[in-house]
């Protein structure tokens, strides 16, 4: 039988390999610091509405495929992590189409109201639900200004191994955290680029040298419900 | 009333302190019980000693789950996904069974020990179809995406 | 002054029948909860827009009424109204029972009721919900201690301090319940500090109405007297509380109407053509406010017990409707993602959501009501909560008998 000491030694060795095995540059820096995701990084997204054609829902289906949610024929209770919203100015009839998902706020109301702390914000700004301690009270859904969260109304089977989801808990866009942790792009961003639209840009908002930071600094961008002061991590350009 | 209760209490303590009925009796008892024989996993050995894993897998998984969800630690060693990938049991159709099936690795022991787990209400109880092949296909893209991101950050 | 004699309820066939009936309804509620837990919330009318349904309406009504049921005890211990003293124990018992019933509904409507232990071990202290967990459990402990000072021998000097603590706590509790809505910045129908005092006024009114009817029924079923004057006084007090609810409701909507950004939601609730407009004016304002107010204030000559009891029943019905309009009406109205713009999506953005309460939801809610009443009944059977008489001479020996007061 393994002794406690032996076990500690084993896991220690393992942590060392983890640090050197980290893929993204930002992560490598972060993990050298405290073995945790860096507080310096804040993942965010910039969506160029001018490049987002109406009727295109590539990002939506990419997310659905990646994370295993989708249409089960109950439009009122089916989960929607990301959706295309059509916005029309009632006077000028000017129309825009844009994707709306969890905005990964800096001051997320869902995190404030969650009684158990299941709704939380990672150090790198990604807002998640820890489904292990979610009791399904749905107060976060009451608090979210974006209607970004869904409640799972039915028992599920054959979930994706990287995207656990189950009856009685609340879920929302994870910014494809399983991909981001592995140094990959969120599925929606990847699909949008693959379709040739390049309307979604993903990156670190805290680093002034990233393209997303430069674009945000140079172009006027809008954030949905910016008036609430919750500082969403998703910005919209040409809206 | 109180006296009777006291006598009962003394009796209860005496019975509980009585020496166990000897090794023969225990063997006899064990022989009657079908001890579960969970299917062997893939590879040479488990991520840790089998004895250790049998006693501690739950705390390892519990610890790992918090590290993964909150800190993004996606190391394979003590991850549930790792367990599932290695310990998948194929059904008659050659496809790994899900936790509904009593043959499922976790269930062989948990049914015996009458410990109900709710992991699989949310987690996949078998490897992704296509399994590791798909995952590695994803990995091969990583280099390209990394350079894309690196480009963005420079 | 004459000593009040308290006596347990007899184990009469009538009592057993009532208790059996309540047990059956509570069991049906439990069955409904199991059904919802097994198949998921898909079997309810709730959806991703209306996330809190009928069970929450029942639960909030019961919790709000619970703190109000303590009114009579507070009047006796805190405000020294001696004539209410004989009912103080019953007031505490009913408060605990209603809260237990309400919480049972709330907990059984969770997505993961099996994880109640998580709610008791993981706390996010920025959440008003987490505070409420302490406010609710604390209420049980404090009211139980308060009851103990009243019913235990030799603890009389602690009644007043315990009464004070309970009084302050029940105000905090209702403030907490109201703030669950008041602190929601995202939803236009909520996000207002007035929710807290509004909920306090509601609790005073609903709780007293439930208390009067419950005490009246208990006395009638156990062959006890319930004084005419006492009922009249309680009725007048109820009138004050009804007026307070109407006042805060008026301020709530007038404030919202003044700000242009709230015009849409206000015209939806107040002047729309949906069920919520009807419920608001007919149910909440007319049946739950104006009519009972007239019933308890008008008849100074030839007071009718029926009028006051009817007023209580109307307050309960109207109060339930009011909670329904707040909880459901506030949720069906879409979120303003882009204020001033027209918004459409596959996720019901920009449209008024539908909500059709289902049978399991109703059974769960009514089961909580039955559970609350059953706890109170078992309490009255087991311990000395109910005085042998609540006749006017018994509660207030110095009173000047009224003339002309007939049933």
Q: Do A131 and B122 touch (CB under 8 A)?
A: yes
Q: Is B128 on the interface with A (CB under 8 A)?
A: yes
CB contact residues (below 8 A), chain C span 92-121, against chain A? 110-113, 115-116, 118-119
Alpha-carbon distance of C40 to C54, in angstroms, equals 16
Alpha-carbon distance of C217 to C376, in angstroms, equals 12
What pLDDT is attached to residue A29? 39
For tokens 């969120």, what's the residue? A186
How far is the first Cα of chain B from the last one, in angstroms, to the nearest whole number? 85
What letter does residue C50 receive in the DSSP assignment? S
Distance from CA of A237 to the nearest CA of C (A): 15
Tell me: do A181 and A63 sit in the same domain.
yes
Residue C341 covered by a domain: no
Which residues in chain B have their CB less than 8 angstroms from residue A204's CB?
153
pLDDT in tens, A46-99: 999 999 999 999 999 999 999 999 999 999 999 999 999 999 999 999 999 999
Q: What are phi and psi of C318, to 5 degrees?
A: -65, -35
Residue C320 covered by a domain: yes
Tell me: do A71 and A105 sit in the same domain.
yes
What pLDDT is attached to residue B30? 61
Nearest to A130 among B70, B72, B148 (CB): B70
pLDDT in tens, C30-53: 999 999 999 999 999 999 999 999
Residue C2 covered by a domain: no
Chains with 3+ CB–CB pairs under 8 A to A are B, C
pLDDT in tens, B123-152: 999 998 765 434 433 444 444 455 555 544
Across the beta sheet with A82-88, what order do the strands follow?
A95-101, A82-88, C342-345
- Residue A200: in which H helix or E strand, if any? strand A200-204
Question: Containing domain of residue A23, as a range?
Answer: 1-36
Nearest to A161 among B70, B98, B128 (CB): B128
The strand pair at A43-48 and A200-204 is best described as antiparallel
Please state which of the ranges A201-210, C156-165, C345-354, C390-399 shows the lowest mean pLDDT: C390-399
Residue C112 covered by a domain: yes
Identify the CATH number of the domain in which residue C322 sits.
1.20.1630.10
Tell me: do A23 and A46 sit in the same domain.
no
What letter does residue C399 receive in the DSSP assignment? P
Please state which of the ranges A76-80, C266-270, C302-306 shows the lowest mean pLDDT: C302-306
**How far is Cα of residue A175 from the mean position of the Cα atoms in its chain?**
2
The SS3 of residue A105 is coil
Nearest to B145 among A25, A131, A184 (CB): A184
Number of domains in chain C: 1
Which residues in chain B have their CB less than 8 angstroms from residue A209's CB?
153-154
What pLDDT is attached to residue C299? 63
Residue C357 covered by a domain: yes
Residue C234 covered by a domain: yes
pTM of the entire structure? 0.87
Residue C18: which pLDDT band, with cuts at 50, 70 and 90?
very high
Mean pLDDT to the nearest integer, A190-195: 96
- Dihedral sign (CA B130, B131, B137, B138): positive
Cβ neighbours of residue A42 under 8 Å, at least 6 residues apart? A106, A124, A125, A204, A205, A206, A233
Does residue C346 contact residue C87 with C-beta atoms inside 8 Å?
no
Question: Containing domain of residue C104, as a range?
Answer: 18-333+348-386
Provide the residue-wise pLDDT of chain B in tens; the chain has 154 residues: 566 666 766 666 666 665 555 555 556 666 666 778 888 888 888 899 989 999 999 999 999 999 999 999 888 889 999 999 999 999 899 899 999 899 999 999 999 999 999 999 999 999 987 654 344 334 444 444 555 555 444 3
Number of domains in chain A: 2
This complex has an ipTM of 0.91
How far is the first Cα of chain C from the last one, in angstroms, to the nearest whole number? 28
Does residue C263 contact residue C257 with C-beta atoms inside 8 Å?
yes
pLDDT for residue C392 is more than 90: no
List, as one string, the DSSP characters of C184-213.
Answer: -SS-TTS--TTHHHHHHHHHHHHHHHHHHH
Please state which of the ranges A21-25, B30-34, C283-287, C309-313 shows the lowest mean pLDDT: A21-25
What pLDDT is attached to residue C302? 56
What percent of chain A is modeled with pLDDT above 90? Answer: 80
Identify the CATH number of the domain in which residue A210 sits.
3.30.70.20
Of residues A170 and C397, the one with the higher pLDDT is A170
- CB burial of residue B146 (10 Å; 0-12, 13-18, 19+): middle
Which residues in chain B have their CB less than 8 angstroms from residue A210's CB?
152-153
Alpha-carbon distance values, B51 to A55, A215, B45, B54, C134 (Å): 57, 56, 12, 5, 43
Tell me: do A2 and A105 sit in the same domain.
no
What pLDDT is attached to residue C400? 62
What pLDDT is attached to residue C264? 92
pLDDT in tens, C249-258: 999 999 999 9
Does residue B123 contact residue A160 with C-beta atoms inside 8 Å?
no
Q: Show the DSSP H helices in A68-185 as ranges.
A: 109-113, 139-143, 177-180
Alpha-carbon distance of C92 to B47, in angstroms, equals 59
Residue A18: which pLDDT band, with cuts at 50, 70 and 90?
very low
Cβ contacts from A onto C, under 8 A: 170
Tell me: do A68 and A48 sit in the same domain.
yes
What pLDDT is attached to residue C374? 98
What letter does residue C328 receive in the DSSP assignment? I
Residues in a beta bridge with A202: A45
What pLDDT is attached to residue C305? 85
Cβ neighbours of residue C326 under 8 Å, at least 6 residues apart? C181, C189
What pLDDT is attached to residue B10? 67
Does residue A51 contact residue A201 with C-beta atoms inside 8 Å?
no
What percent of chain C is modeled with pLDDT above 70? Answer: 96
Virtual torsion, Cα B43, A21, A132, C51, nearest 10 deg: -130
CB contact residues (below 8 A), chain A span 5-64, against chain C? none
Alpha-carbon distance of C12 to C35, in angstroms, equals 34
Mean pLDDT to the nearest integer, C351-374: 97
Tell me: do A148 and A189 sit in the same domain.
yes
């Amino acid at each position: 039988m393994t002794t406690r000491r032996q076990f500690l030694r084993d896991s220690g060795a393992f942590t060392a390999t983890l640090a050197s095995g980290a893929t993204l540059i930002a992560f490598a820096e972060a993990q050298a610091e405290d073995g945790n995701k860096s507080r310096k990084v804040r993942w965010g997204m910039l969506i160029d509405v001018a490049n987002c054609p109406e009727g295109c829902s590539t990002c939506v289906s990419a997310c659905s495929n990646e994370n295993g949610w989708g249409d089960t024929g109950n439009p009122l209770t089916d989960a929607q992590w990301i959706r295309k919203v059509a916005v029309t100015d009632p006077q000028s009839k000017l129309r825009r189409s844009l994707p709306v998902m969890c905005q990964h706020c800096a001051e997320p109301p869902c995190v404030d109201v969650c009684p158990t702390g299941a709704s939380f914000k990672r150090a790198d700004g990604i807002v998640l639900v820890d489904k292990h301690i979610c009791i399904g009270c749905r107060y976060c859904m009451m608090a979210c200004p974006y209607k970004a969260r869904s409640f799972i109304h039915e028992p599920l089977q054959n979930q994706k191994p990287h995207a656990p989801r189950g009856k009685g808990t609340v879920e929302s866009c994870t910014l494809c955290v399983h991909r981001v942790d592995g140094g990959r792009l969120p599925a929606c961003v990847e699909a949008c680029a693959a379709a040739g639209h390049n309307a979604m840009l993903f990156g670190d908002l805290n680093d002034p040298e990233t393209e997303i930071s430069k674009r945000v600094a140079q172009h006027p961008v809008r954030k949905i419900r910016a008036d609430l002061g919750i500082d969403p991590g998703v910005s919209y350009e040409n809206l | 009333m109180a006296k009777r209760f006291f006598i009962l209490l003394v009796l209860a303590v005496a019975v509980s302190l009585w020496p166990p009925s000897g090794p023969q009796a225990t063997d006899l008892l064990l022989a009657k019980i079908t001890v579960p024989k969970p299917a062997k996993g893939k590879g040479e050995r488990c991520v840790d000693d089998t004895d250790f894993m049998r006693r501690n897998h739950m705390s390892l998984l519990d610890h790992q789950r918090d590290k993964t969800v909150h800190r993004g630690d996606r190391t394979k060693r003590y991850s549930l996904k790792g367990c599932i990938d290695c310990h998948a049991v194929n059904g008659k159709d050659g496809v790994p069974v899900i936790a509904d099936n009593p043959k499922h690795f976790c269930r062989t022991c948990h049914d015996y020990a009458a410990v109900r787990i709710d992991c699989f209400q949310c987690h996949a109880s078998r490897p992704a179809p296509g399994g590791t092949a798909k995952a590695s296909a994803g990995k091969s893209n990583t280099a390209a995406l990394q350079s894309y991101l690196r480009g963005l950050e420079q | 002054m004459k000593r009040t004699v308290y006596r347990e309820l007899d184990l009469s066939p009538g009592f057993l029948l009532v208790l059996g009936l309540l047990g059956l309804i509570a069991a049906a509620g439990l069955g409904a909860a199991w059904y919802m837990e097994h198949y998921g919330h898909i079997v309810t009318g709730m959806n991703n827009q209306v996330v809190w349904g009928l069970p929450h309406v029942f639960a909030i009504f019961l919790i709000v009424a619970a703190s109000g049921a303590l009114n009579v005890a507070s009047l006796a211990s805190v405000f020294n109204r001696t004539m209410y003293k004989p009912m103080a124990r019953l007031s505490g018992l009913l408060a605990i029972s209603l809260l237990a019933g309400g919480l049972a509904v709330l907990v059984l409507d969770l997505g993961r009721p099996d994880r109640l232990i998580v709610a008791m071990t993981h706390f996010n202290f920025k959440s008003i919900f987490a505070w409420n967990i302490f406010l609710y459990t604390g209420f049980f402990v404090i009211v139980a201690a308060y009851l103990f000072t009243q019913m235990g021998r030799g603890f009389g000097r602690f009644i007043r301090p315990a009464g004070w603590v309970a009084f302050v706590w029940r105000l905090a509790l209702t403030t907490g319940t109201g703030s669950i809505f008041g602190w929601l910045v995202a939803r236009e129908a909520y996000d207002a500090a007035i929710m807290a005092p509004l909920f306090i006024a509601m609790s005073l009114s609903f709780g007293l109405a439930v208390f009067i009817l419950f005490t009246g029924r208990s006395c009638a079923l156990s062959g006890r007297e319930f004084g005419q004057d006492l009922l009249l006084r309680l009725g007048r007090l109820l009138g004050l509380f009804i007026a307070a609810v109407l006042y805060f409701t008026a301020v709530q909507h007038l404030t919202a109407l003044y700000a242009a950004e709230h015009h849409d939601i206000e015209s939806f609730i107040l002047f729309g053509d949906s069920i919520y407009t009807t419920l608001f004016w007919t149910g909440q304002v007319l049946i739950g406010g104006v009519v009972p107010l007239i019933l308890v204030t008008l008849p100074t000559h030839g007071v009718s017990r029926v009028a006051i009891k009817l007023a209580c029943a109307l307050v309960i019905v109207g109060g339930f409707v009011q909670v329904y309009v707040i909880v459901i009406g506030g949720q069906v109205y879409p979120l303003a993602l882009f204020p001033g713009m027209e918004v459409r999506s596959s996720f019901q953005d920009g449209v008024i959501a539908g909500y059709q309460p289902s049978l399991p939801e109703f059974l769960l809610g009514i089961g909580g009501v039955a559970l609350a009443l059953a706890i109170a009944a078992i309490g009255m059977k087991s311990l000395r909560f109910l005085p042998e008489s609540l006749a006017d001479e018994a509660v207030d020996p110095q009173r000047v008998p009224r003339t002309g007061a007939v049933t």
